[in-house]
Structures are given as structure tokens and as C-alpha cells.
Copies of this chain bind each other. A is one copy, B any other.
Amino acid sequence: MKFDDAITIKDIAKALNLSTSTVSRALRGRYEISAETKKLVMEYAERMNYRPNPIALSLKEQRSKAIGVVVSEIANNFFSQAINGIESIAYNNGYHVIITQTHESKEREMVNIQHLVSRSVDGLLLSLSCETTDLSYLKQLHEKGFPIVQFDRVTNEIDTHRVTADNYMGAFQATEHLIAQGFRKIGHITSTSNLSITRERLQGYRDALEKHNMSYDAGLVKHCTHGGMIYDEVEEAVESLFQSRSKVDAIFTAGDRLTTVTLSALKNVAKKYKQVGFIGFTNTNLAELFTPPVSVIRQPAFEIGQSATELLIRMIESKRPVTEFENRVLPSSLIIRESSALIPS
């Protein structure tokens, strides 16, 4: 059924007693067409509000002027902000954006990518899911020259452009900040070490401790394999950090979700303790609602989205295959609030 009253080139041709090819050429302003015919066609098209059918174009050109985005969750401020950045650039370049979520499932990830590719997206913006292990399909795609840009959660196993936040430096500064505040036993709640971001942040944390001659204790690092999707997992982590053997006086959290949920858990668990230092990676404005407001590390999500999209579109539109891949690292920013000490009610 056609609900779209969109007229086609054929309709124009018929109405004007021309051939479809003439109309097509006139519309695209080709030099072979007489100014007269051109004007005729253009005006008629304008008047009838002609729009080329994108589907037909996709079929013909084997491209769609659309880019696919694969993220774990859009209900995550980092990603929704990144998507806004992606859209802003894509939009300005005449590209359409198709967003898909993996919900951290590798099957979902695979299905989404395949679907996007078969839908002829011209390129892919990819932030890997926690689970991802088998990258062979992606690798193949990339080797065939399919434009892919990784952002945020990246892997070195596929050599593409990469755009990330400076997770290392963010974590380093965050940890130093807690140390400067006088906290001596800093716990770290993070997600699976599968993820690049997890490893980078952990390294920043370790190096900061080392710089200040504080020993690294693996027992103080809690990996939540579901990245904060499951509350109980986080609460358990928080609780274990407060157990006698390894009682921390401060906590540093790694992700948007993890930060949110840890703060919630702290409300319940930390009551028993006088003061808990806190800092976390987050792009929500949650933390300022705390009493007193806590410090956070904010990531340049919007800019990451923009940057990744620029690179992708450049790849798509360049004639020759790209061989040199960029690694853009955008600075995270430390936001220091009144106090990083949480005073339980």
C-alpha cells in the first residue's frame, strides 16, 4: 500500500511528456539537459513536492545515506549524549541514524550488526557490549573495507578509527583527588575487564596509588559483570568493601550506571559508617543531588559522538580505502564538588 502520496519520476515524465531518464537528469542538474527542460522539470517537481524514494536509491546505489549505531543501552546518559553528538554531525551531512541496543548481549550485538549491514547502512559506529568475544564477523566486515569506527568501548583486535574518553587520566586524577582528601583505603567498583574502558581506568587507579606510595590491593577492586544492570551485584560489592577485613574509607566507581547504583546502595549500606569518600564516572547530574554533592568525572560524550561520526563520514565518502587509523582520546573532566565525603543520614 502507498500512503505516501509521493510522486515518482515516472509521474513527472508522464505529466511532462518526457522520458524518465530526462527527468532524472534534469533533476540532478546534468549539463546535457537544456535549460528550458530543466526549468520545466524542476518547477513541476517543486510544485508537486517530489522527493526521491530513498529505498529505490538504496537498492540502486547499494548505499543508504544512513549510519548504524550499536550501543549497549540508550537509557544511559553517556550513550544518549553521545547519540546526540552523532546525530548532530550525521544530520548536517545528510545522513540518517539508526540506533540499536545490545543490552550487553553478544547475540543481540551480532544480530543488530548483521541487520544494519543488510539494511545497507553505509557505516557503523560501534561501542562493544560487555560480553563480546567473537569478533570474527566484525573483522571480516572490516577487512572487506566496510567503514567502522569504534567509540568508548573499543578493542585493539580490530584496527579501525577509535574515539574514546581519556579514561586513564580520568581515573588517575579521580584517585589522586581522593588521596588528596586524605582517604587511605580506596575501593574501586568497575565492570568486566573484557572492556577496554575497565582496564584503562583500573590502570589509572593503580598508577595514582603507586605515585603516592599506597599499595595496590586487588581485594579492593570489585568487578560487576553486568555493568550495574543488576542492583544486587553492586550492593554486594559495596557491602564487601565495608567488611572488616578490607574496610575502605572511599569508593571510586567506573561507569555511568555503576555510579548511579552505587550511590543508591551507599544510601542503604553506608549508614553504618561515618564518612565515605566518593567519586565516580558519570554523565548524569545525579551526583549533585547528594548531600553534600559528590565529585564526579564527566566524559565528553557529545564530543565523542561528534568526533566518531566525522571520522566515519570521512571514511564513507573517501574514494580510496583508509589504511592509517586514528586514535582520538578526548579529555575527561574532573568536577569537584563541595566535598567528596558522603555523610550518611
Residues on A facing B (Cβ under 8 Å): 1-6, 51, 53-56, 58-59, 62-64, 73-75, 77, 80-81, 83-84, 87, 96, 98-99, 101, 114-115, 117-120, 140-141, 144-146, 260, 263-264, 267, 285-286, 288-293, 345
Contact = CB atoms under 8 A, between A and B. Distances in A.
A118 B2 CA distance: 10
Given A51-B114, A51-B118, A264-B289, 17 more contacts: A1-B63, A3-B141, A4-B118, A53-B59, A54-B118, A54-B119, A55-B58, A55-B119, A59-B59, A74-B83, A74-B99, A96-B119, A264-B285, A267-B289, A267-B293, A289-B289, A290-B291
Contacts of A99: 74, 98-99
A115 B101 contact: no
Contacts of A292: 345
A119 to B, nearest CB: 5
Q: Say how many copies of this protein the assembly contains.
A: 2
A140 B271 CA distance: 59
A101 B87 contact: yes
Given A80-B80, A98-B98, A291-B345, A145 B55 contact: no
29 contacts: A1-B62, A1-B145, A2-B62, A3-B141, A3-B145, A4-B118, A4-B120, A5-B144, A6-B118, A51-B118, A53-B118, A54-B118, A54-B119, A55-B58, A55-B59, A55-B64, A56-B59, A74-B74, A74-B99, A75-B80, A80-B80, A84-B101, A87-B101, A96-B115, A96-B119, A260-B285, A263-B289, A264-B288, A289-B290
B146 A3 contact: yes
A4 B74 contact: no
A140 B51 CA distance: 17
A144 to B, nearest CB: 5
